[in-house]
Structure 1
């Protein structure tokens, strides 16, 4: 299928100054053009897929079934996880939109969390991490979007690939930012800058769908898929699912497209970020 990429740049806002016709012998009034920054997104094609994993997939968890067919109209998704720079630019707006939203800066990284929180650091082109679900939701709404549902996220991650990983059936470290190569949890040390092309980007142009940071979804966790799994956003889920794996993880199956994750308070949020979708 073909995808359509919206490159970072500027939309054009045209403001027409004055509405009276120009007098004879005078130059007509010109439109005043203001640049408006636009996010980098990709249009995902309409289609359907089987959510979850087959019974024989290595590393499969029981909550990845039964496989369930889901269908979508075309929608947009951020090419990368939301960066520190983008989130920091809207901190006060996020705070005003949801006073209960929480996040932690580099200096506020709690003792016992592996790695560092990226806000208020020089890592401005890294994914923002250490943001809770409410902060992620508020940010997405501020930019005219929403957090993806769990089904939307898996559809986007697979990019029409039915295999265990979006690139094939076997783990390959070049496609992820993780700790598999050094075989110890968190040994990578932290997040990496986002990318916009290369082996970390899937067939639909979405980058870091596996690794770097887990990504919040709008879906509450349930122990099985099938008819009980909601495909619509779950309001304010007590246990929101996150997807994708992160720099902290050293076990390859956690980077599979069907793997479903839950955040654990004792592990902290240094490995959790998010991206947004925009539905027509």
Structure 2
């Protein structure tokens, strides 16, 4: 049995995976519709509504931590159209350092030799997603621009954009919709990140782009082995194991790009495939 959690405040129900938004899109009266640019360029308002987190038992590639499926309700909120770019982060990196002196990131020249790919900061790849930033740096940046990291539930709700299929575009993997390494069948064979886009095959029905592929995206939610109400609040401190979502250019396994897939980052293995985007709640 799934649990239905309702919110009356503007703070989100955070948590994990589900099987897409349930029913038709619901828009708060007088609120911008999905795909409508928010007040800051490069954001969209997402509609209020309900969705079911997690994956059904029969979904191909399903992991055991993608359940039990949990039904959640949301108020509308605003999300970045793309992952935060290298240029945008670079412009605020000194402010990020001042806000959280423990935040860490790596430049192109500092990319550790054992990491696949390159870090994008201090490189010509200014229009690529910023990568090689840790969770604290991502959180600090979002706070500086008046936002926050999305909860895991917010992220999946946004990625699904009212769909209930394994991938936001349908039931089967299609490389057209992601920046990844599936087509060449080896981890990291895709070479690296790609410039962000704001339209086209990599954007879902709500106008959010690279929700699958290019870079994994940090969430505010601490990992738990199962979905449910217990994970319905974003941690107030830095989580020991923050969940990230979406898959990246490094990944060659199709199931990792599913909307319900949950990822954990191990910084010792590299952060060239990890970035983030921000949300803003009314």
Identify the TM-score tier after normalising by the shorter chain.
Answer: 0.7 to 0.9
Contact 2:35 2:45 in 1 (8 A): yes
User: Greater CA radius of gyration, 1 or 2?
Assistant: 1
Distance of 2:152 and 2:84 partners within structure 1: 17
- Conserved 8 A contact 2:46-2:79: yes
Give the one of 258, 263, 268 matched to 2:265. Answer: 263
State how 1:113-262 maps to structure 2 within 5 Å: 113-262=115-264
Q: With the length of structure 1 as denominator, give the TM-score of the two structures.
A: 0.88
Structure 1: give runs of 5+ residues left out of the alignment. 12-37
How far apart in 2 are the matches of 1:126 and 1:270? 12
| C-alpha distance in 2 between matches for 1:40 and 1:266 | 32
In structure 2, C-alpha distance between the alignment counterparts of 1:257 and 1:233, rounded to whole Å: 22
Give the strand-richer structure, 1 or 2.
Answer: 1
User: Given the superposition, is the C-alpha separation of residues 235 and 197 from structure 1 closer, same or farther in structure 2, using an over 3 Å criterion?
Assistant: same
- The aligned residue for residue 23 of structure 1 is none
Query: RCO greater where, 1 or 2, for CA within 8 Å and sep 6 or more?
Result: 2
The number of residue pairs the alignment matches comes to 251
- Cα deviation for residue 5 of structure 1 reads 2.4
Tell me the SS of whatever aligns to 2:159: helix
Q: Deviations over 1:116-145 (max 9, x none)?
A: 000000000000000000000000000000
Instruction: Report the RMSD for the aligned CA atoms in angstroms.
Output: 1.1
Match of 1:89, SS state, is helix
Rate the CA distance shift 1:39–1:140 in 2: closer, same or farther, 3 A.
Answer: farther
Q: Where does the alignment leave 5 or more consecutive residues of structure 2 unmatched?
A: 1-24, 26-32
Return structure 1 stretches of 4+ with deviation > 6 angstroms: none
Q: How much has 1:230 moved relative to structure 2?
A: 2.3
